[in-house]
């Protein structure tokens, strides 16, 4: 390709397309290179997208036929033991009444395609079925473009935005960021289960167009550091489960076996009963947190989204951080273009923007959270069983006085866990979220 672009974006995910929208709107010659047949063809996520960062890029996204499955009106958390568990839920009509929903469910195949159309409308060029295989550098190691697998091969650009996601062969090859260690990524599997619209609404107690999210923790990940989820789409449910990649290999567990077992759990089974499996996918998740964020820019390049390990595991925020970082990368490039300086120095405003925003402030706040889950295995083993035992005992009326029940529960806790270990867990949990 002889053509010279101002910006080459690697990856048409939320990070890359956000940047392309902002840049193209300002008349910057932007090309997005996507390995999938179409944007979203290879992408997977649980399904919840927050509207705030999308609205910063496409303010009228709801009027532009954004493929929304259901607006979220209720969030639930389940903490599960083998045979049951706790459920905590929060519903608020405020979002609904104000017509300003905080989040909605969507599918990546439809959403990414729609989002890429918004960038195209603004003038970005989206080249699909194009794998970026290497970065082009000049004699000073400055990035000056990308090498692709297209017959017309190399493409030159004044700056390259790496928005190629967590599973990046390019990172491994070029070393623009360290390859994530198995302990820093999770492997997640997801199944979409078809059900009639009215069945979903009845089972979750919602109106047409409204939906529920359920985040799930506990025994379901077989003692490994992981989470599961259940989200409502219009005519289907998304059910997924994942765990740390290191734990999967250490325990020799197959993710799809864990998913099958999870589908039999007494809390989940009634919701998916009679459903027809429609789709099955697997993907990595950036879980390492703040301490694994790489250098965010260098001479001629910036890194955004999952590729920069921007994922807030506690709040299940990934696509919004990708969009926010893509937007800030684009704003930095615009600034650099004014100055004509694409060196690392000229692009440093990107890191500053991220640091001042909620993106890095939240990730810093929760920097200990990945360690909490890694170091306290009992969150996934002993604790779900003990907490279920406590509820079962206190709720069962069998003639035993409550004081004796409390004593029995405390003795059971002490047999399984020393008071010091329990105190240590509470202390670490508080420190990880304070
Ligand atoms: C199971 C699961 C559940 C999740 N649930 C949620 C959720 O509910 N809500 C949420 O906000 N986030 C969720 N996430 C996280 C979210 O999916 C990511 O944070 C988000 O997709 C990151 O966006 P991105 O643009 O950085 O990367 P990606 O979405 O991964 O996009 C990267 C793009 O780059 C392309 N690409 C990669 N390499 C190349 C190459 N060499 N050449 C050309 N193209 C390339 C890919 O095909 C892809 O289109 C979940 C993730 C998983 C795995």
Ligand 1 pocket member 165 (CB < 6 A)? yes
Ligand 1 atom showing the smallest separation from residue 133 Cα: 41
Q: What is the 3-state secondary structure (H, E, C) of the chain?
A: CCCEEEEEEECCCHHHHHHHHHHHHCCCCEEEECCCCCCCCCCCCCCEEEHHHHHHHCCCHHHHCCCCCEEEEEEEEEEECCCCEEEEEEECCHHHHCCCCCEEECCHHHHHHHHHHHHHHCCCEEECCCCEEEEEECCCCCEEEEEECCCCCEEEEEEEEECCCCCCHHHHHHCCCCCCCHHHEEEEEEEEEECCHHHHHHHHCCCCCEEEEEEEEEHHHCCCCEEEEEEECCCEEEEEEEEEHHHHHHHCCCHHHHHHHHHCCCCCHHHHCCCEEEEEEEEEEECCCHHHCCCCEECCEEECHHHHCCCECCCCECHHHHHHHHHHHHHHHHHHHHHCCCCCCCCCHHHHHHHHCHHHHHHHHCCCHHHHHHHCHHHHCHHHHHHHHHHHHHHCCCCCCHHHHHHHHHHHHHHHCCHHHHHHHHHHHHHHHC
Low pLDDT (below 50) residues in the chain: none
Instruction: Give pLDDT, residue 3.
Output: 64
Q: Which domains, from first to last, does the chain contain?
A: 4-69+106-178+289-356 (3.50.50.60), 183-286 (3.30.9.90), 370-433 (no CATH)
| Spacing, Cα 337 to ligand 1 middle (Å) | 28
Ligand 1 centroid, distance to 165 Cα (angstroms): 5
How far apart CA 434 and CA 420 sit, in angstroms, is 21
Atom of ligand 1 nearest to the CA of 130: 43
**C-beta of 215 in contact with ligand 1 (< 6 A):** no
What per-residue confidence (pLDDT) applies to 2?
A: 56
Q: Is the CB of 12 under 6 A from ligand 1?
A: yes
Q: Give yes or no for residue 190 CB within 6 A of ligand 1.
A: yes
In tens, the pLDDT along 418-430 reads 988 999 999 999 9
Is the CB of 127 within 6 Å of ligand 1? Answer: no
Instruction: Tell me if 306 CB under 6 Å of ligand 1.
Output: yes
36 within ligand 1 shell (Cβ under 6 A): yes
Query: Quick one: pLDDT at residue 124?
Result: 98
The atom of ligand 1 lying closest to the CA of 42 is 47
Q: Does residue 320's CB lie within 6 angstroms of at least one atom of ligand 1?
A: yes
Specify the ligand 1 atom closest to the Cα of 190. Answer: 1
Q: Which atom of ligand 1 is nearest to the CA of 48?
A: 8
Which of 21, 41, 46, 244 has most ligand 1 atoms within 8 Å of its beta carbon, as the pocket-test mutant?
A: 46
10 in ligand 1 pocket by Cβ < 6 Å? yes
């Amino acid at each position: 390709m002889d053509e010279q672009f101002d910006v080459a974006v690697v990856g048409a995910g939320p990070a890359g397309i956000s940047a392309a929208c902002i840049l193209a709107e300002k008349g910057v010659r932007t090309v997005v290179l996507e390995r999938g047949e179409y944007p979203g063809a290879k992408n997977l996520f649980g399904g919840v997208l927050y509207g705030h960062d999308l609205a910063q890029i496409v303010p009228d996204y709801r009027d532009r036929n954004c493929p929304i499955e259901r607006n979220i009106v209720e969030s639930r958390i389940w903490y599960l033991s083998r045979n049951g568990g706790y459920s905590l839920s929060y519903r608020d009509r405020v979002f609904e009444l104000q017509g300003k929903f905080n989040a909605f469910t969507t599918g990546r195949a439809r959403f990414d395609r729609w989002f890429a159309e918004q960038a195209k409308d603004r003038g970005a060029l989206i080249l699909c079925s194009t794998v970026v295989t290497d970065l082009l550098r000049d004699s000073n190691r400055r990035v000056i473009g990308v090498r692709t697998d297209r017959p017309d091969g190399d493409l030159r650009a004044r700056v390259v935005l790496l928005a190629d996601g967590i599973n990046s062969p390019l990172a491994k090859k070029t070393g623009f960021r360290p390859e994530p260690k198995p302990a820093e990524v999770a492997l997640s599997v997801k199944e979409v289960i078809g059900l009639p619209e009215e069945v979903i609404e009845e089972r979750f107690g919602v109106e047409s167009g409204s939906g529920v999210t359920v985040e799930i923790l506990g025994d379901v990940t077989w003692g490994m550091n992981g989470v599961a989820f259940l989200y409502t789409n219009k005519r289907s449910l998304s059910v997924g489960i994942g765990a740390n990649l290191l734990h999967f290999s250490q325990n020799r567990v197959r993710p799809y076996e864990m998913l099958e077992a999870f589908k039999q759990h007494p809390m989940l089974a009634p919701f998916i009963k009679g459903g027809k499996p429609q789709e099955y996918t697997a993907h990595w998740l950036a879980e390492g947190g703040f301490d694994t964020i790489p250098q965010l820019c260098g001479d001629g390049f910036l890194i955004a989204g999952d590729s920069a390990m921007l994922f807030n595991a506690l709040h299940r925020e990934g696509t919004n951080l990708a969009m926010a970082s893509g937007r800030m990368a684009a704003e930095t490039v615009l600034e650099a273009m004014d100055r004509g300086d694409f060196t690392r120095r000229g692009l440093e405003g990107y890191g500053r923007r991220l640091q001042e925003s909620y993106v890095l402030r939240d990730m810093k706040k929760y920097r200990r959270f990945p360690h909490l889950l890694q170091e306290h295995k009992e969150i996934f083993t002993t604790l779900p069983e003990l907490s279920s035992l406590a509820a079962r005992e206190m709720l069962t009326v069998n003639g035993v006085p409550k004081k004796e029940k409390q004593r029995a529960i405390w003795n059971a806790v002490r047999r399984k866990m020393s008071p010091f270990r329990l105190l240590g867990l509470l202390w670490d949990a508080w420190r990880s979220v304070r």
